[in-house]
Amino acid sequence: MKKIAIAQLLPGMVTAESVLDINKQLIIEKGTLLKESHIRRLQSYNILAVCVEDSPITADLEEFEESNTEEAEDMTYGQKVRASEEYKAFRKNYDLKLDSLKTTLNSVVEKNVDLDVRELLQSSLSMVSGTNSSMSVLDMLHNMREYDDSTYAHCMNVALICNVLATWLKLSPEDVEMATACGLLHDIGKIMVDQSLITKPGKLSATEYSEVKNHTVRGYKLLQEKNVDVHIRNAALMHHERNDGTGYPLGLRGEQIDRFARIVAIADVYDAMTATRVYREALCPFRVIEMFEEEGFQKYEVEYLLVFLENVVNTYIQNQCLLSDGTIATIVFVNRSKLSRPVVECEGRYINLADQPGLKIEKLL
Ligand SMILES: [Fe+2]
Ligand SMILES: [Fe+2]
């Protein structure tokens, strides 16, 4: 049995406990094979998480899928992603690779064994090459965080996002691999920090915060002992540095920061912002883009950030969205000067969101 966020529920999962509303009225019984309609019902009651059985798929799956496909029309964008075959295959592969990443990183940190970066890298690269581009890797990651806020899952996600970003930047195949490896190992120092600090809810004391920030230096030193490539070491040390000198641990600026660390910095923050948290669903990608537009260009490499955000927006061209005034529209053109506010079309009418400060994309449908 495991507790899982509503945003991550999939049709086919089975409830392990009855779900009650605040007045203790039954919403869904224990042992229910969930359909989209059940998930919508839970959302309408503002239930945040439910307990489901560990092996969610029942023997009646085929029959179940048939009865469930009728509901596909009403699915949200996230539910469509999660119901797709491509997503299911990606997720299965991800779980396997995550397990092996965890074992490897733990033995490197705890048992002082050698670190074979090549082998580690091949495992995560096979995940990206195994997906076709019809559904973006970012979309799939966005929909599968559950409550796995572990450092291992975060490292895996950042590696995949770095891989996508480096490809968009048209780096050489060697540099795409290097960026992926840098993402994979950027937070290895966090495994060495007292885990109660990493997962501590609420504010950290000044001492605790400096202990957490020190994961950069500890990661760098460990990777140095293992004779790992200098860019990988630098990415561990410098991924919290910011171009305007406001980062840590050294307060470096612009060119002083390793270029791979500047790639990791964007992937790192994007992953943190799009993660599903216990208290909220993953943020709409346009909200994330808006946040980067508000303060990102002083802090991150402008060229990298622009390419990243433009490509994220491009992923959603032709996608339906819900605007803040309740209108349903289709995203049709990217506004390069205001990426979070594209041109949308609604019943033959074009609305340039860049000219409508009071109107924005609320969610993808
Ligand atoms: Fe970090
Ligand atoms: Fe990180």
Q: Are 198 and 151 in contact (CB under 8 A)?
A: yes
Q: Which ligand ends up closest to the CA of 150?
A: 2
C-alpha 204 to ligand 1 mean position (Å): 16
Q: What is the pLDDT of residues 187-206, one digit of tens each?
A: 999 999 988 888 777 888 99
Q: Please name which of 294, 271, 274, 293 lies closest in space to residue 284, comparing C-alpha atoms.
A: 274
Q: Which ligand ends up closest to the CA of 238?
A: 1
C-alpha 93 to ligand 1 mean position (Å): 25
C-alpha 130 to ligand 1 mean position (Å): 28
What predicted TM-score, i.e. pTM, was given to this entire model?
A: 0.76
C-alpha 270 to ligand 2 mean position (Å): 10
The interaxial angle of helices 151-168 and 85-110, nearest 10 deg, is 120
H/E segment holding residue 300: none
DSSP code for 280: B
pLDDT at 5: 85
Q: Which ligand ends up closest to the CA of 266?
A: 2
Give the separation between CA 176 and CA 318, rounded to whole angstroms.
Answer: 29
Q: Which chain residues have CB less than 5 Å from ligand 1, an ion?
A: 187
Give the separation between CA 292 and CA 224, rounded to whole angstroms.
Answer: 32
Burial of 342-360, coded b for 16+ CB within 10 Å and e otherwise, reads bbbeeeeeebebeeeeebb
User: Thinking of the domain 83-282, which architecture would CATH place it in?
Assistant: Orthogonal Bundle (1.10)
Question: ∠ CA(59), CA(65), CA(71), 5° rounding?
Answer: 150
Q: How far is CA 88 from the centre of its chain?
A: 16
Which residues is 14 bridged to in the sheet?
A: 33
Q: Which ligand ends up closest to the CA of 271?
A: 2
Give the separation between CA 3 and CA 50, rounded to whole angstroms.
Answer: 5
How many Cα atoms within 13 Å fall on the side-chain side of residue 264?
33
Give the separation between CA 84 and CA 122, rounded to whole angstroms.
Answer: 25
Predicted confidence pLDDT, tens digits, the chain (365 residues): 888 888 888 888 888 988 887 766 677 888 888 877 778 777 767 788 899 888 655 445 544 554 554 455 567 777 788 888 888 888 888 888 888 899 999 988 888 788 888 888 888 787 777 555 556 788 788 777 665 668 898 999 999 999 999 999 999 999 999 999 999 999 999 999 988 888 777 888 999 999 999 999 999 999 999 999 999 999 999 999 999 999 999 999 999 999 999 999 999 999 888 776 555 566 788 988 998 998 888 999 999 999 999 988 888 888 889 999 999 999 998 888 899 999 999 988 999 999 998 999 988 88
pLDDT at 73: 56
Under CATH, what is the fold of the domain 2-74? Molybdopterin biosynthesis moea protein, domain 2 (3.90.105)
C-alpha 199 to ligand 2 mean position (Å): 14
The single-letter code of the amino acid at 288 is V
C-alpha 187 to ligand 1 mean position (Å): 5
Q: How many C-beta neighbours within 10 Å does residue 141 have?
A: 24
C-alpha 197 to ligand 1 mean position (Å): 13
Helices (H), 137-258: 137-142, 151-168, 173-185, 195-198, 206-213, 215-225, 230-238
pLDDT at 279: 54
Domain ranges of the chain: 2-74, 83-282, 315-364
Give the separation between CA 267 and CA 218, rounded to whole angstroms.
Answer: 21
pLDDT at 59: 44
C-alpha 268 to ligand 1 mean position (Å): 8
